[in-house]
């Protein structure tokens, strides 16, 4: 990434969900100035700068091919394995490939749609707040799951998972809504994980340890099938 691109990402405008935190930080600085408390000024400044960085919401440019599945979040791939989608989505018990992305507190936390389609179900489930990099976080942690019906009729899922520090999952998507790959649909505060369950038979094109850019990095091709699937 070039220096200019890095600066644009760091200096990107904040997501609207961070506005209240920014106002709070500025208010703390104001109280510090009003009462002559230098420590309050510094505390408010550091908090405000952190929130500006954490809630940054840079523009992303999706590849533009309708046959791709994109990363729904920035971060590092911590798991690529076959798993059953969350039962509350009603997608059945069949195993399908799951790509899990861990978002550290330093990553952009805005979530993006992995593919074109229609949101058929959104299901929230309360749970624990384990370290989101652990595999059992997919099963045990608080989560918000979305089922997505692709234009060709196949289904996939994307799941927002709270982490050790995260205590708030925000989702702006609605059931029945038509969405585009790379479009913003939510954010998780502060440190989290996002799992993508590919359509049955579709193979992932990423591996553990890779760095993802939400809305841009390709994690699968919808025509790329396993041996047991049909060639698209």
The residue from 79, 133, 138, 192 that is catalytic is 192
Q: Are residues 43 and 28 in contact, defined by beta-carbon separation less than 8 angstroms?
A: yes
CB 173 within 8 A of CB 120: no
Please state, in angstroms and rounded to a whole number, the distance separating the CA atoms of residues 80 and 208: 6
Active site residue 2: no
Q: How many CB atoms lie within 10 A of CB 52?
A: 18
181 Cβ partners below 8 Å, 6+ apart?
62, 66, 68, 69, 70, 112, 113, 114, 115, 116, 215
Closest Cα partner for 84 from 161, 194, 197? Answer: 197
Q: How far apart (Å, rounded) are the C-alpha atoms in residues 17 and 27?
A: 17
Q: How far apart are the first and last CA of the chain?
A: 34
3-state secondary structure of 45: helix
What is d(CA 167, CA 158) in angstroms, rounded to the nearest whole number? 19
Question: Contact, 158 vs 96, CB < 8 A?
Answer: no
The catalytic residue positions are 192
């Amino acid at each position: 990434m070039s220096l200019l691109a890095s600066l644009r990402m760091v200096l990107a405008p904040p997501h609207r969900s961070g506005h209240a935190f920014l106002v709070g930080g500025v208010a703390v600085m104001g109280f510090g100035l009003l009462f002559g408390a230098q420590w309050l000024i510094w505390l408010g400044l550091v908090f405000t700068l952190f929130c500006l960085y954490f809630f940054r919401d840079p523009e992303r440019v999706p590849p533009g091919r309708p046959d791709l599945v994109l990363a729904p979040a920035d971060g590092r791939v911590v798991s690529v394995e076959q798993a059953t989608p969350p039962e509350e989505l009603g997608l059945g018990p069949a195993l399908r490939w799951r790509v899990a992305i861990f978002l550290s507190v330093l990553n952009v936390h805005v979530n993006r749609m992995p593919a074109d389609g229609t949101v058929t179900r959104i299901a929230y489930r309360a749970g624990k707040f384990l370290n989101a990099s652990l595999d059992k976080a997919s099963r045990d942690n608080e989560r918000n799951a979305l089922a997505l019906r692709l234009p060709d009729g196949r289904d996939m899922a994307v799941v927002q998972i709270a982490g050790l520090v995260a205590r708030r999952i925000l989702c702006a998507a609605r059931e029945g809504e038509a969405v585009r790959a790379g479009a913003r649909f939510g954010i998780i505060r502060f440190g989290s994980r996002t799992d993508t369950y590919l359509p049955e038979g579709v193979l992932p094109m990423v591996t553990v340890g890779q760095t993802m850019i939400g809305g841009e990095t390709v994690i699968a091709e919808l025509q790329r099938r396993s041996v047991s699937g049909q060639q698209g």
